A and B are shown apart, each in its own frame.
Chain A
């Protein structure tokens, strides 16, 4: 692909022991997890337990990914990307292969999970995603290449985890790694400057992707109208329209704003549907049910005022009628 030919790593067979040139740690390859443009990820056994190990060919791009992983590991309080352990070189038959070791996330792809557990999980997982993005943005980073393929749902309670953070970009710089469907530049709805609204566009497109698993191409013109039509004509997406619209048009400056509005929207809908299903043990449910009550109170108050005004009006008419 590139002008300078890079030596490709052939698949590393099961049972192979990888030992680091610098740190002298050893890892036993268990199986291949997947491969991308920059390298192959394996499940490996080590003194740390099971880890994910990525072997690449180009030490610059491997180093670049490690830079990001290290930064994310420093974010306090929230677990953002996979936890980073170490970077090293593996020498095999005279050649050096850079590799790094990170936490193994034993999760399920986002859409596989949603298909198995139900569509109502979309909103909840997006709330989680937006909370994590909010933390990432606060630290001065933008995810960049946000797409379902880079998200896993792990454990119980189900939690969204980020798999590939290679596209993460410092705020204000340009996003270099992206996937067309999730990129606002592709849709002509913005530039590729790393800012919160870039990620929020991608979040909206992930939801659209849930409604259109096969995705779709951009139209010749007026992408905005086209996307709104796509939302309107999907039963699943329609209810999210106000939020998706704002995210697609870059109206949210912060992930927390979008999260709040999504939260409010889900509350409204869930109190209707979920009243008879009190099985959820999350503390969120409590919060979810207090706010609509307040709303109801206010509309009740307005009704009373109107009624009183109405009665007063008729009473005045009645009095006036009496005088003349």
Chain B
């Protein structure tokens, strides 16, 4: 099996989008492009979860995972969601392979338990060794202001977990809304997430929540990266395009 690259969009937000394209539609588009959209909703203690439905729907149509957390638990959640989503994508991929061998109506559960063990080992192996690209989208609308330091911690924590893997990692960081545009690039693709402590203090918060346009930008960023690399590397797993 050829080792490929997993591509994720990680959306960290605390509420409803209120400008531009429908984020659920944009997530569906991302999925068509072979990316997974994961969404983490950050709440204050005692906060009502008005954006809940949207958060859930974005993840659902983006083929990813969503999770609502209080700011305090964010670190643990961000790395967990990222890893779970990786496993889920790989499982989906393996599942298809199995179906092509065993027949279309077969599931992993149709294998005797002893055989399943080997499937799990393959999934674990891939989760550990596959390359991963994560495009992180941070909601910087006004209500997120006091949560940003926690987001910074959580991203550092994420990089500790991912760098403990054998596979390579690349990150890009975007904020929405940006200073002048709806979406602003904070950090271009980089293998190390260490410099974020220089970026976060400069972030300004305020105004609208253009989640849809942000996702659209994320797709574009991936497209650009791909066309740049296309000549050198064609190792992506195209598992959602069938």
Q: A: which residues have CB within 8 A of B?
A: 1-4, 22, 59-60, 63-64, 66-67, 70, 87-89, 96, 98, 172-176, 180, 185-186, 191-193
Contacts and interface: CB of A to CB of B under 8 A. Distances in A.
B67 interface: yes
B83 A63 contact: no
A237 B112 CA distance: 50
A59 B121 contact: no
B40 to A, nearest CB: 12
Given A96-B109, A176-B83, A192-B161, A1 B166 contact: no
B64 A3 contact: yes
Contacts of B161: 174, 176, 185, 192
B75 interface: yes
B98 interface: no
A64 B91 CA distance: 13
Q: Chain B binding site: helix, strand, loop or mixed by DSSP?
A: helix
Contacts of A60: 87, 91, 108, 116, 119-120, 123
B105 to A, nearest CB: 14
Given A3-B66, A22-B113, A66-B113, A192 B60 contact: no
B238 interface: no
Given A1-B67, A174-B164, A176-B83, A63 B119 contact: yes
Contacts of B194: none
Interface in B40-63: 59-60, 63
Counting chain B CB atoms within 10 Å of each CB, the highest count among A63, A87, A88, A89 belongs to: A63
Nearest to B116: A63
Given A22-B112, A59-B109, A63-B119, A173 B157 contact: no
Counting chain A CB atoms within 10 Å of each CB, the highest count among B113, B116, B124, B160 belongs to: B113
Counting chain B CB atoms within 10 Å of each CB, the highest count among A60, A88, A180 belongs to: A60
B207 to A, nearest CB: 29
B76 A180 contact: yes
Contacts of B185: none
Nearest to B57: A3
Contact of B75 (A22, A70, A180, A192): A180
A173 B130 CA distance: 12
Contact of A2 (B84, B109, B114): B84
Given A3-B63, A3-B64, A98 B108 contact: no
9 contacts: A3-B63, A3-B66, A22-B112, A64-B120, A66-B113, A66-B117, A87-B113, A192-B161, A193-B164
B179 interface: no
B58 to A, nearest CB: 10
B113 A98 contact: yes
Contacts of A4: 88
Contacts of B116: 59-60, 63
B183 interface: no
Contacts of B121: 67
